[in-house]
Structure 1
Amino acid sequence: MEGGESSAQIIKNAPSVLKADIWTHYGFYQLKGKNELDKSHAVCKVCHTKIKYLGGNTTNLRNHLSRFHCEKLTSATKKTADPAQRRIDEVLSTFPPNSEKAKAITQSVAAFIAKDLRPYSVVENAGFRHLLKTLEPRYKLPSRSHFTENVIPALYNGTKAQVMASMIQAKRVAITCDAWTSVATESYLTVTAHYISEDWQFLSHVLQTRAVYESHTGAHVVELLSCVVEEWQLSDKDVMLVTDNASNMIVAAELGKFTHVKCFAHTLNLASQRALKVATLSRLLGRVRRIATFFHRSTTANHYLKEKQKCLGLKNHKLITDVATRWNSAYDMVERFLEQQPAICATLLSPEVRKGQSDLCTLNETDVSNAEDAVSALKPMKDATTLMSEESNPTVSLIAPINAQLLQNMTGTIGDSPMIHAIKNAITTDLLKRYNGEAEKKILHTASALDPRFKGLPFLTVEERLEIYRGVTEEAASLENERTLRRTEVIDGLLVSLLGQSFTDTEGTSVSAERVFSTAGDVVTAKRSTLKPEHVDQLVFLQKNLHIPKC
């Protein structure tokens, strides 16, 4: 800003092309000796002050008028924001939606929804929005519909392409399927795939989840599985199907001409559930369950139980109540009862606890003896179930040797009590019904022969053993590029407990078999009971397959 010029010098009006209202109060001097305006400086018509004019920018002019002649600054001369032009503070306060930072945060929110099984509505929750605002005030969270219709589907498509690119390299693929029902009583079938990569890594993917509106007949199941094989380009992968023991799954495998193996974990559960129905054991479980439930519901009894545990030097463990769908929870319930039995009996006999509980039951010595027999008889089944559940890569090579060992463990002996005899007989009867097909037995025995831990096949007769070796030798000769087997770690304690020391001298390969799909039901919750089937498919797929960096 420069001082005023002589009042004799005439201030020419601004050219008509300068249409801003501010030019009502400003003009230009004429260049000396020329018929041109000096547009390097605008001149205030009130005080004749020259103000540097940068061509098109009237900020300095408005500032001068505001500071020295505010009475001239009418509403007409105040700058009105162009609706299409954002203010500088707005530009600096938010990220453009297409900026790399904004897109990265949006992708992370989508990953959060998918990996943690959160409802889409989480982006509308006040607490979540406040968290993002605190972490990054410049980020504007997109709408729920934007995630539903754009972000999650795009993330799904990208992840699906990665899974297909990885799986196309596999030579053989095992698929498993699991039917489940949502809280909205809608039926779904989820299909998973398992294979060994070229660098000998065990990989597992959820492929798809489909709503099933028809009855779950074998024909409908095989139709869905055939679509899976076609969509995921598995027709040349020598697909093996692993399912539970349901008759419709067996029919589907036959109709689709799939190589079929029944899930061993499901087999163990069926045999054990049959044992739990033995009359004497069922009555015992009912009484133990009633006592455990009483301690869960009574704060007084639970308080006195803790005091008795402390006095008797027992661990402060809570009693366990069994769950109908998991047979091993019944085993855990009885085992915990036996562990805490002295404290339980002492507590139940306390007048303070029995007050008002006339129908409170206690267990006598016979009940305690039966509980000990039940735990002893079911211990091999418990070990096998735990092994198949906790093994990071459960393998088909485990099925035949463990099944054979369980049948041996369930052979009756002279010293068995009536309860032990009944439990063993129930389990043996059920196990003998499984894995009787010649094709299935050949698969199981061949897998065991290829695993150095079980290659001796001691559970087979000499003739059966030689037949399996002959088949393995012939197939190995035809596979030019598969000449070596991977090494694995020494068998863990549970495997030793089940199979004995004769299986602990070697190490070997580990090829994956079926792992029961268990988290699909968590997708459709009370807050997400109206999810469309395609959204359920996308969320289940991403929850299992999307890889995010560990923090």
Structure 2
Amino acid sequence: MGKNNYTLLDGSFYFKLLPDGSVDKSKVVCSFCQTELKYHRSTSSLNYHLRAKHSNAAKKGHAKGQQKQSTAPLKNAHQHKPVEEDKLTTAIAKWVVINFRPVNIVEDAGLRDVLRVACCDESYVLPSRGTIVSRIHSLYETEKATKLKLLQSANVVALTGDHWTSVSNQNYLGVSAHHIDTNWTLLSFALTVRQTEETRVQHFCDVAERWDIARKVTTIGADSALTLITAERIKSYQHMPCIAHSLQRSITAAVLHSGFEHVLTKCRKLVAHFKDSPANAAELKREQAQRDQDVEPLIQDVQTRWNSTLSMITRLQTNKDAVRVTLDLHKQINTPAFLTDAEFEKMGKLETLLEPCRYVTELLGGEQFVPCSVVLPALCHLSRLMEVSEDDPDYVCQFKEAFTSDLSKRKESINTQWLKVATALDPRFKDLKCLPRSEREEVWRLIKEESAKQCYVEAKVSEPPKKKMSLLVASDSEDEEEAAADTPVARYRAEPSISMETCPLKWWCAHAGAYPSLAPLAQKYLSTPATTVPCERLFSLSGHVVQKKRAALSTENATRLLCLSDWLREKKQEGKLTQQL
């Protein structure tokens, strides 16, 4: 051993440095090729490695003593190298997770060459598959600990869940958590993606217990089928069906009962004519370019994608002339018939009917703003737009009547009471104009009751003197009237409503101190999602992870990859927003 305690054979080898800065003296690394070798207090195998792999460099080093002169810089380089390699390993692990790359990509020689050029280090060796998997597990545990702290500081938590079937015909349940933190920021992130055999509410309870939030859960959001089972088996949680699903089903029912389906079938055949043939698609693109239009493909509607029917007819109407000319270029037996002017007029009417529905579904499916309090005002707005007028054609009247009738039936199964309270606690809609006058006072009565319970809990914690409480009980009727007029609920109702563009959470952040008994209620009701869109976005990621080439992926690894991808994407998005601000 040389003078330097970290090197061997005049700097030809150095002991392996661990991530925590300690030295592993059972392993050494070659300074020339970075090969890791075991060390048993004998340099025989090390000398053999030098003679076999680096004979010229070894001879020069021993002959002129050049390695001794370079011992100090080698030491410094090796001290920094593990740190840089650790950063690269973490970056590769994050890349694999966020961009859904297979772990065996670290065996790709092309990636190795690219990183060697980027690092200006021709000796860089990619980490092994096991190292990347281990790093992914470490990142998952770190991010999970961060999410646990967020949930521990939350007063209440809302859950949403949805089911998805993988390519290997396995059923998965995804669960997301939603809450408003102390800074009045709405947070939403995945909790788990677990394999299940059937739709059971007990899975939600298991997830809540595992994350230690069982006592904090207020609502469980799910599709209608799961909600029915939930209502039967769990009484302690409120249940929020997916409003966007209900709205989409009402649209489907209205289309079927209004005579639009025949025209939509012709539209689908037209779109398929260009989607299924690269030659036809290329001709359409040339025609679009000649007309100085945007070169864009036609859109085929999909039953499971909301608003895709609207996107299909809008894109088809925009490219009506280009499609007509392209079809005229080659008249074939299988060429679909083009729509008539009357049918295009019918499509225009349908577009006008579906556009407000698209706006509402996108509004309710947002994660960065409060959606729950918007449900009743949005449905009231749609009901007004769907009122039949004298100028409406018969098919439009049929659509409006079918839509209104179906949506009214579905509104009976949603948690209307919860939505009413959420609407009242939103300073944009607290006038409750979306409700009949006869129902408004009942909502405020419910809020007063919950507010009184909140005051009682706070009073019980602070343990006020009994004499003071008896004085309150013995107050006369005039004092009671004055006190009633000065209650937090009355003062909140007297506040001016804010504009639609103003965020209700910012308003509550500024006024929470003035309404200490109402602020926790606002956090409770305004944090509830109106749809299962967060979980459906999670399953969009699932399609990239649990695919045919990875169908044998274990449930545990699938959970780690999907949740970690969701968490890292959220952190990346927050970083971009911070830079913009």
Instruction: Please tell me the TM-score bracket, short chain as reference.
Output: 0.7 to 0.9
Q: How much has 1:269 moved relative to structure 2?
A: 1.9
Q: Is there any run of 5+ residues in structure 2 with no aligned partner, and where?
A: 1-7, 11-41, 51-66, 459-487, 503-521
What SS does the corresponding residue of 1:260 show, helix, strand or coil?
strand
Q: 2:313 aligns with which of 321, 329, 334?
A: 334
Which residue identity does 2:545 align to in structure 1? V
What SS does the corresponding residue of 2:201 show, helix, strand or coil?
helix
Task: Tell me the alpha carbon deviations over residues 138-163 of structure 1, each in whole angstroms, 9 at most, x when there is no partner.
Answer: 54333212333x22222211211111
The residue aligned with 2:410 is 434
Q: Which whole-Å CA distance do the structure 1 matches of 2:252 and 2:169 have between them? A: 26
CA spacing shift, 1:123–1:358, aligned 2, 3 Å: closer
Answer whether contact 2:171 2:198 (CA < 8 A) is retained.
Answer: no
Q: Which whole-Å CA distance do the structure 2 matches of 1:100 and 1:306 have between them? A: 51
Answer whether contact 2:230 2:239 (CA < 8 A) is retained.
Answer: no
CA spacing shift, 1:241–1:95, aligned 2, 3 Å: farther
Answer whether contact 1:335 1:375 (CA < 8 A) is retained.
Answer: yes
CA spacing shift, 1:184–1:463, aligned 2, 3 Å: same
The residue aligned with 2:132 is 147
Which residue identity does 2:330 align to in structure 1? V
The residue aligned with 1:196 is 180
The residue aligned with 1:412 is 388
> Within 5 A, what are the aligned runs for 1:466-477?
466-477=441-452
Task: Tell me the alpha carbon deviations over residues 173-223 of structure 1, each in whole angstroms, 9 at most, x when there is no partner.
Answer: 0011121122222211111100011111111121111111x232xxxx222
Q: Which whole-Å CA distance do the structure 2 matches of 1:487 and 1:104 have between them? A: 53
The residue aligned with 1:361 is 337
Asked if residue 209 in structure 1 is aligned to residue 193 in structure 2, the reply is: yes
The residue aligned with 2:500 is 491
The residue aligned with 2:440 is 465
Asked if residue 273 in structure 1 is aligned to residue 252 in structure 2, the reply is: yes
Asked if residue 392 in structure 1 is aligned to residue 354 in structure 2, the reply is: no
Indicate the larger mover: 428-437 or 111-120: 428-437
Q: How much has 1:309 moved relative to structure 2?
A: 5.0
What SS does the corresponding residue of 2:194 show, helix, strand or coil?
strand
Q: Which whole-Å CA distance do the structure 1 matches of 2:420 and 2:373 have between them? A: 7
What SS does the corresponding residue of 2:304 show, helix, strand or coil?
coil
Task: Tell me the alpha carbon deviations over residues 272-322 of structure 1, each in whole angstroms, 9 at most, x when there is no partner.
Answer: 222333462111111011112223345665565456556767555432221
Q: Which whole-Å CA distance do the structure 1 matches of 2:85 and 2:411 have between them? A: 55
Structure 1 or 2, whichever has the larger Rg, is 1
CA spacing shift, 1:314–1:152, aligned 2, 3 Å: closer
The residue aligned with 2:547 is 525
Q: Which whole-Å CA distance do the structure 2 matches of 1:275 and 1:113 have between them? A: 44
Which residue identity does 1:248 align to in structure 2? L
The residue aligned with 1:66 is none
Q: Which whole-Å CA distance do the structure 1 matches of 2:413 and 2:267 have between them? A: 40
> Within 5 A, what are the aligned runs for 1:443-454?
443-454=418-429
CA spacing shift, 1:469–1:368, aligned 2, 3 Å: same
Indicate the larger mover: 280-289 or 365-374: 365-374
The residue aligned with 1:83 is 45
The residue aligned with 1:252 is 230
Q: 1:119 aligns with which of 76, 90, 102?
A: 102
Q: Which whole-Å CA distance do the structure 2 matches of 1:205 and 1:442 have between them? A: 26
> Within 5 A, what are the aligned runs for 1:91-170?
99-136=82-119, 137=121, 138-148=123-133, 150-170=134-154
Q: How much has 1:249 moved relative to structure 2?
A: 3.3
Answer whether contact 2:284 2:322 (CA < 8 A) is retained.
Answer: yes
What TM-score, normalized to structure 2?
Answer: 0.69
Q: How much has 1:446 moved relative to structure 2?
A: 0.6
Q: How much has 1:416 moved relative to structure 2?
A: 2.2
Task: Tell me the alpha carbon deviations over residues 61-119 of structure 1, each in whole angstroms, 9 at most, x when there is no partner.
Answer: xxxxxxxxxxxxxxxxxxx9533689779977996899333322222222222222222
Q: Which whole-Å CA distance do the structure 2 matches of 1:434 and 1:99 have between them? A: 61
Answer whether contact 1:178 1:516 (CA < 8 A) is retained.
Answer: no
Which residue identity does 1:259 align to in structure 2? Q
CA spacing shift, 1:310–1:117, aligned 2, 3 Å: closer
Task: Tell me the alpha carbon deviations over residues 399-421 of structure 1, each in whole angstroms, 9 at most, x when there is no partner.
Answer: 11111222232232233222212
What SS does the corresponding residue of 1:413 show, helix, strand or coil?
coil
Q: 2:271 aligns with which of 292, 304, 328?
A: 292
Which residue identity does 1:229 align to in structure 2? A
Answer whether contact 1:289 1:322 (CA < 8 A) is retained.
Answer: yes
Q: Which whole-Å CA distance do the structure 2 matches of 1:386 and 1:225 have between them? A: 26
Q: Which whole-Å CA distance do the structure 2 matches of 1:532 and 1:371 have between them? A: 47
> Within 5 A, what are the aligned runs for 1:299-310?
301-302=280-281, 305=284, 309=288
Q: How much has 1:248 moved relative to structure 2?
A: 3.0
> Within 5 A, what are the aligned runs for 1:11-50?
none
Answer whether contact 1:407 1:431 (CA < 8 A) is retained.
Answer: no
Q: How much has 1:378 moved relative to structure 2?
A: 2.0
Q: Which whole-Å CA distance do the structure 2 matches of 1:358 and 1:185 have between them? A: 36
Q: How much has 1:512 moved relative to structure 2?
A: 5.3
What SS does the corresponding residue of 2:44 show, helix, strand or coil?
coil
CA spacing shift, 1:425–1:229, aligned 2, 3 Å: same
Q: How much has 1:444 moved relative to structure 2?
A: 0.1
Bigger proportion of residues as helix = 2
Which residue identity does 1:459 align to in structure 2? C
What SS does the corresponding residue of 2:336 show, helix, strand or coil?
coil
Answer whether contact 1:222 1:253 (CA < 8 A) is retained.
Answer: no
CA spacing shift, 1:146–1:379, aligned 2, 3 Å: same
CA spacing shift, 1:347–1:256, aligned 2, 3 Å: same
What SS does the corresponding residue of 1:132 show, helix, strand or coil?
helix
What SS does the corresponding residue of 1:407 show, helix, strand or coil?
helix
Q: How many equivalent residue pairs?
A: 450
Q: Which whole-Å CA distance do the structure 2 matches of 1:222 and 1:390 have between them? A: 25
Q: Which whole-Å CA distance do the structure 2 matches of 1:318 and 1:154 have between them? A: 43
Asked if residue 370 in structure 1 is aligned to residue 388 in structure 2, the reply is: no
The residue aligned with 1:174 is 158
CA spacing shift, 1:512–1:273, aligned 2, 3 Å: same
CA-based RMSD of the aligned residues comes to 3.5
Asked if residue 243 in structure 1 is aligned to residue 222 in structure 2, the reply is: yes
Which residue identity does 2:209 align to in structure 1? E
Which residue identity does 1:523 align to in structure 2? V
Which residue identity does 2:430 align to in structure 1? K
Answer whether contact 1:180 1:521 (CA < 8 A) is retained.
Answer: no
